[in-house]
Amino acid sequence: MKIKENLTILWEYLKTVFSFDPESPLLFTQFQFWAFFAIVFAVFALFRNRRLLRNTYLFFISVLFYYKTSGLFFGLLLFVTLSDFLIAQLIYACRARWGKKLFLILSVTIDLSILCYFKYAYFFADLVNTLCGTSFQVTNILAESFNRAMGEPVFSIDRIILPVGISFYTFQIISYTADVYKGLIKPVRNFFDFGFYVTFFPQLVAGPIVKASDFIPQLYRKYCLSRLQFGMAVFWILNGLLKKIILSDYIAVNFIDRVFENPMLFSGFENLMALFAYSLQVYADFSGYTDIAIGLSLLMGFHLPRNFNSPYKAPNCSNFWKRWHISLSRWLQTYLYIPLGGNRNSTFGTYFWILTITLAALVLSGNPYIAVGVLLLAAAVVYTGLRYPDRRRKIWANLNSMITMLLGGLWHGASCNFMVWGGLNGVGMIVYKFWRDFRPFHQLLWALFFLALVWAFSVFIPAPVWNLFLVFMLFIAGSALIKFLYTASKARWRVGWIGHAWAVWVTFVFISFTRLFFRSGSNLDPAVANETAWRIASEMVNQIGSAWNANVGDIILAYDKVFGLFLLGMVIHWLPDNWKRRYRIWFARTPLPLMALLVVAAVFVLYQFVTAEMQPFIYFQF
């Protein structure tokens, strides 16, 4: 009888372990995940050098992890994995160029159709309703069909739920078939090897996006983990957890989320600090996930690419996007910007995307004047490029760059706030490219001219918006003045570091203000994102740009822990790279008993900051 009871208890426990709980998906910050990984790694160690068995085992473990994270959507992951595995074989076997291209189009069509269905159904419904005057409502057709096949309501058909990490693994699979088509790599012959590449659980749901040419050769190497690599793996895991739980979750729960939920209840200073703190939060959250993924992968003998390189050290917007989400930036450059023509010329894709973005502006804004303005601006740029051959390459490069940034914004979500966010980053990159070509004295003159222009038109601009414009133009004028002094000074070393630091600060401020549109609607239902996001953004601008009646000192004292952590996070972020390299290597070479004590101390500190509810990683929703 006692044996039967124990077996029943064990069975119920196993059901809990292997079932999906939508209220508690498996996260890196949960104790359950580390228990799961400990078991996975212990079994992995038994046959770590038996390549086929190792890869097959990790493939099934990765599918189980995704099931625990996203439920029955693991079937969708298996479908796209199988379809691209087979199509890549056909691409490689086909001798005719047109045949290879046909199979590539088939693969991309399948992948993007699934992505668009789950991510852009509301956008396409709005597009049809706007253009045709219809009133279609979005229904989850796939869920309805699945429920009919199962004979019971497994999925809700009222709304389309976005599978976790679908954008990341879709882009990763597309890069694989595209590289096979280009002849850069040969297709993987074993399905389990390929499935492991697609589903590798540390980076599956939030990247980094791993190129097949970088990762697939690692599938066939023998397992190797040196003492230094073990130390680095432990460092990256702890570093990621500290970022996520302390610098992201604690600051978000205790300050940022409250302000963004209702900006009008907080002062202008609190709104401004919430905006700056969100820049730290989203970096600590996303890079923290990447750090943990890199550490876990390293323990299993695999190397993932670096995805962040101290992005808030960037002195301009272009450099920022070479440091932030590096794998996505490179993907967009390789598979979108260059096929569009890059910095050489325009292609059919350039004009296609101009029209598509115009329609998107019409649908997302609901304002035909905005769509007409976008179209006229694009037409003027294209005409200038055709009319003046000497400026053509630069114009095409900037136009293709702007299209890439707008589509990068839409990749995050089909709502107007993401399009504005992508567009502002595109404008920042283009303005910098033109700005850097001016001589320092001319930069100063242009800055003063635009400052006077903003002042002259202040009567037509709402006071809060005008105040922000004025402050930012003062930043630009200050940058131009410092650069002018630098070129005119004989002791340049005294001014050069000031100019660089000022450029870094201006870039950080600009990037933070673009995040106003990113954060305002990033956690909203796509059906209501536009209206709510614009309301939140406008209220925050109104509060920040209006007179600050609250006592700043009292606010700092009230949120002393939050502001202290924000300051600490930014100081660590701005430390010189060689300092960071030194303390990473010092930790990795620490004797194991001391390393164990440091790990225990770090876990104790982390426990003090754990919030009541585990916060999912921000980029899970993309």
CA distance 299 to 288: 17
Length of the chain: 622
Nearest alpha-carbon partner for 357 in 167, 123, 137, 118: 123
Residue holding tokens 């419904």? 125
3-state SS class at 542:
helix
CA distance 154 to 603: 39
Respond yes or no on whether the N-terminal peptide bond of residue 22 is cis (omega within 30° of 0).
Answer: no
Asked if residues 502 and 316 have their Cβ atoms less than 8 Å apart, the reply is no
CA distance 248 to 242: 9
Contacts of 255 (CB under 8 A, 6+ apart): 273, 274, 277, 559, 562
Catalytic residues: 412
CA distance 389 to 395: 10
CA distance 119 to 110: 14
CA distance 452 to 457: 9
Asked if residues 268 and 545 have their Cβ atoms less than 8 Å apart, the reply is yes
DSSP 244: I
3-state helix, strand, coil in the chain (%, to 5): 75, 0, 25
Half-sphere exposure of 294 (CA within 13 A, CB side): 22
Nearest alpha-carbon partner for 202 in 56, 301, 321: 301
Half-sphere exposure of 82 (CA within 13 A, CB side): 6
Token pair of 524, please? 């909203």
